[in-house]
């Protein structure tokens, strides 16, 4: 088995990895680190969760150490472009960890925060800058920053940057960076527009491609409630307050809505019921988003409600449940959403709330993922509870959590009939049954990327970190 020390990394970087507790490189790290250390351009076809941040950051740190240039005034030596604020902040945190003993200065700038503060903090330059494209170009336009000293340029999640409308920004940035820099280009998909960008940005790149570990998806048990739109909030409240059993121990729950207003509505109603939750979406300020994420990470709030774009690329260990309060209209988005659970070798549970008018989305999800999504029964007397006339049984004293052991699925349909045909037989890991046994070779399952990433997020929970044209 390859070890980090076999890859040619320096002692300070190896020590930092030791501190992080990483023992062996992931496949993308194994393939990418040696050629990047050799100064080659790289095209990495990989998505979040594969360890790609370390795959580019570790060798780049060593390249910067080796060239030993001074920190340039109002510029940086390594520039990492990321589509969203959350991803940028996450990369910055990793860069600080990985470079802790290398003595490199790391800064991040993202939209939605004070431009003046960014201008001040970049005045003296930095070794590594992680930036969203819009904010970066704002500073360049103001002559507060320049890209003339960039030695290593990273484009992370390039397909997402295009989806978010950053194509013009990326073309501009390409003209501003020195021609002889090293470029590390990452994208989960390779549509034509990305190929064009690659040919403009990279010189004879080494190509490495990794699919996300299928085991991640296989560790996610997937379930489904057929529930009317106006019943969803009540169902959510019953689940989160422990009054309706669902599989798995509820620890940290990430809830997805399609729209920003939807997310706010859910949070507001939950708090009216004494369930504390935060929302992250494009209408929240960057400090609000960061605080919500931090509180969720630290366990101060155990419920986070997010839109797709805001949650993209974020890595929060310990998410026990993903609830799709509204189904995504792009099936691949479902895969991204449920991939927020079962991180770092843990199990996870994904639960979809499907209303009558979302059946087409459900069909698409089943087609793309080939997962069964075992149907769960609604609580007894559910309609009465929804209408506020039925008894809302309080949870047994001291019990607000449900446990996987205690969970005994009732046959679907034993609650209010929902008209989804007969419930499916329920096994221990029903969601796994529908998968073709033993990929590779079989058809792709949930963790696979068939048909590329979801596009057309416009209007569905948008992103505050909009392209420059939208930032005014
Ligand atoms: P990324 O794909 O870069 O977002 O990384 C996904 C997660 O894997 C992050 O939480 C990293 O800290 C973690 N990670 C990356 N490389 C390794 C490794 N070699 N061993 C263990 N964990 C890792």
Ligand 1 center–CA 65 separation, angstroms: 22
The strand ranges marked E within 200-301 are 206-209, 220-226, 253-256, 278-280
Residue tagged 């008894």 (tokens): 391
Mean pLDDT taken over the chain: 81
Ligand 1 center–CA 61 separation, angstroms: 17
**CA gap 271, 470 in Å, rounded:** 32
The answer to whether the CB of 315 is under 6 A from ligand 1 is yes
281: tokens are: 């979406």
pLDDT at 462: 34
Nearest Cα neighbor of 108 from 70, 139, 80, 134 is 80
Task: Give the range among 58-62, 114-118, 397-401 with minimum mean pLDDT.
Answer: 397-401
Ligand 1 center–CA 94 separation, angstroms: 9
**Under a CB-based contact definition with an 8 Å cutoff, are residues 402 and 320 in contact?**
no
**H or E element: which one contains 59?**
helix 52-67
The answer to whether the CB of 47 is under 6 A from ligand 1 is no
Task: Give the range among 2-16, 114-128, 275-289, 415-429 with minimum mean pLDDT.
Answer: 415-429
**Under a CB-based contact definition with an 8 Å cutoff, are residues 126 and 71 in contact?**
yes
Tell me the pairing of strands 42-45 and 76-81. unpaired
Ligand 1 center–CA 20 separation, angstroms: 10
pLDDT at 440: 31
Which of the given ranges, 48-57, 127-136, 328-337, 446-455, has the highest pLDDT on average?
127-136
The per-residue pLDDT for range 201-248, each reduced to its tens digit, is 999 999 998 865 444 466 788 999 999 999 999 999 999 998 898 998
435: tokens are: 């998968």
Cα-atom radius of gyration of the chain, to the nearest Å?
23
318 burial level (CB within 10 Å; 0-12, 13-18, 19+): middle
Residue tagged 């500073």 (tokens): 139
DSSP letter for each residue of 141-195: HTTS---TT-SEEEE-SHHHHHHTT-HHHHHHHHHHS-TTSEEEEEES---HHHH
Task: Give the range among 163-177, 254-268, 382-396 with minimum mean pLDDT.
Answer: 382-396
**Under a CB-based contact definition with an 8 Å cutoff, are residues 150 and 72 in contact?**
no
- Does this model's pTM top 0.85? My answer is no
The answer to whether the CB of 52 is under 6 A from ligand 1 is yes
Task: Give the range among 121-125, 182-186, 216-220 with minimum mean pLDDT.
Answer: 216-220
387: tokens are: 């209408």
The per-residue pLDDT for range 331-367, each reduced to its tens digit, is 878 887 887 787 655 678 999 999 999 999 999 888 8
pLDDT at 417: 36
């Amino acid at each position: 088995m390859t070890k980090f020390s076999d890859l040619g990394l320096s002692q300070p970087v190896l020590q930092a990895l030791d501190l992080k507790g990483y023992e062996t490189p992931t496949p993308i790290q194994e393939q990418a680190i040696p050629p990047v250390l050799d100064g080659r351009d790289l095209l990495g076809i990989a998505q979040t969760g594969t360890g790609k941040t370390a795959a580019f950051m570790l060798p780049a740190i060593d390249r910067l150490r080796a060239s030993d240039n001074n920190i340039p005034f109002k510029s940086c030596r390594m520039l990492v472009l990321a589509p969203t604020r959350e991803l940028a902040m996450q990369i910055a945190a990793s860069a600080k960890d990985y470079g802790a003993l290398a003595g490199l200065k790391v800064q991040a700038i993202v939209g939605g925060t004070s431009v003046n503060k960014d201008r001040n903090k970049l005045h003296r330059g930095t070794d590594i800058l992680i930036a969203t494209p819009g904010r970066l170009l704002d500073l360049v336009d103001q002559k507060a920053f320049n890209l003339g000293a960039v030695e290593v340029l990273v484009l992370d999640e390039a397909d997402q940057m295009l989806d978010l409308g950053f194509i013009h920004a990326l073309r501009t940035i390409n003209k501003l960076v020195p021609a002889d820099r090293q470029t590390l280009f990452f994208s989960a998909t390779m549509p034509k527009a990305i190929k064009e960008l690659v040919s403009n940005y990279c010189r004879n790149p080494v190509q490495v491609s990794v699919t996300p570990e299928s085991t991640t998806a296989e560790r996610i048990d997937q379930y489904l409630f057929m529930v009317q739109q106006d019943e969803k909030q009540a169902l959510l409240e019953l689940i989160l307050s422990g009054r309706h059993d669902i599989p798995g121990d509820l620890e940290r729950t990430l809830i997805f809505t399609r729209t920003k207003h939807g997310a706010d509505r859910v949070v507001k109603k939950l708090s009216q019921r004494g369930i504390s939750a935060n929302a992250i979406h494009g209408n929240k300020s960057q400090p609000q988003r960061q605080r919500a994420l931090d509180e969720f990470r630290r366990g101060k709030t155990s419920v986070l409600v997010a839109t797709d774009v805001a949650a993209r690329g974020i890595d929060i260990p310990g998410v026990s449940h993903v609830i799709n309060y509204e189904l995504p209209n792009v099936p691949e988005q479902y895969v991204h959403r449920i991939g927020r659970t079962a991180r770092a070798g843990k199990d996870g549970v994904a639960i979809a709330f499907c209303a009558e008018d979302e059946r087409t989305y459900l069909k698409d999800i089943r087609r793309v993922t080939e997962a069964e999504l075992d149907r769960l029964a609604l609580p007894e007397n559910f309609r009465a509870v929804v209408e506020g006339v039925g008894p809302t049984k309080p949870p047994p004293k001291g019990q607000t959590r449900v446990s996987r052991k205690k969970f005994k699925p009732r046959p679907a349909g034993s609650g209010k009939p929902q008209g989804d045909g007969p419930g499916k037989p329920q096994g221990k890991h029903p969601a796994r049954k529908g998968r073709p046994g033993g990929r590779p070779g079989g058809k792709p399952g949930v963790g696979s990327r068939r048909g590329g990433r979801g596009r057309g997020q416009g209007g569905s929970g948008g992103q505050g970190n909009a392209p420059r044209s939208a930032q005014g």
